Structure 1
Amino acid sequence: MSRRDLSGAVDFTVLDRMTGGDDAVAEEVLDLFTQQASMWSALLDHRIEGWRDAVHTIRGAAAGIGAGELASICQETETTPQALAPAALERVHTALDIALADVAAWRHELMLRSLKG
């Protein structure tokens, strides 16, 4: 399937390999990622004690769907000194938003394909 690629933030071949090319499973994985992203975003605040745990969780999920740049930014941010956390967490937010836009485009294309039969 030719997938829309808004930014290249997500390498959907990684997702395809993980799901065995099963679009229904991929849709479930991306739905879960999208739902949880809103929860994780709330924890990406340097004033919240668990922000490093949230970044670590996003890192693993991002790697699993093929969002390599997001995973890389999260890895860097996990070890960021507290004084530099606000800027680092802003980078995580931005990368997460970009990855979510690519996920939305992929899901949209998948929905259109299912409507065509």
Structure 2
Amino acid sequence: MARRDLSGAVDFAVLEAATGGDDGISEEVLGLFAQQAALWSPMLDARDEGWKDAVHTLRGAAAGIGAGPLAEACQAAEAADKAAAPPLLERVHDALEMALADVAAYRHELMLRSLRG
């Protein structure tokens, strides 16, 4: 997986602007995003009491790295009531998977760059 595998789910220019283009900081931020995703994604279920907390947290993390479609999906789910949440949470889950795939490809590219020196 490398940069050519990016789907466009994440606009990495947002991340690069926030990190000043520092590959080490970008890697650290993306690693934290992946950890947040692993922590909060099990709660993306309207039967879970913390589902709104999960989408709120993921929304902020997504915006920070440039994952606009994920942030938008989270915003829509967060605004919904419990009865309307299931399909919106499914959309969040799908957008999260796309963002994580792009993050993995980008992190792979960062690793390759670090090896090249």
Task: Provide the TM-score with structure 2 as the length reference.
Answer: 0.94
Q: Are positions 1:32 and 2:32 aligned together?
A: yes
Distance 1:87 1:20 in 2: 37
User: What is the distance in 1 between the residues matched to 2:28 and 2:6?
Assistant: 21
| Structure 1 residue ranges without an equivalent (≥5) | none
Amino acid at match of 1:8: G
Match of 2:52 in 1: 52
1:22 and 2:27 are equivalent in the alignment:
no
TM-aligned CA deviation for residue 5 of structure 1 = 5.0
Aligned counterpart, 2:42 = 42
Instruction: Output the aligned Cα RMSD.
Output: 1.4
List, as ranges, runs of 4+ consecutive aligned residues in structure 1 with deviation greater than 6 Å: none
Q: Percent identity?
A: 70
How many Å apart are 1:19 and its aligned residue? 0.5
Equivalent residues of 2:59, 2:74 under 8 A apart: yes
Residue 106 of structure 1, CA deviation: 0.3
Unaligned runs of 5+ in 2: none
Tell me the SS of whatever aligns to 1:9.
Answer: coil
Look up the SS of the partner of 1:7 in the other structure: coil
The one-letter code sitting in structure 1 at the alignment partner of 2:98 is I
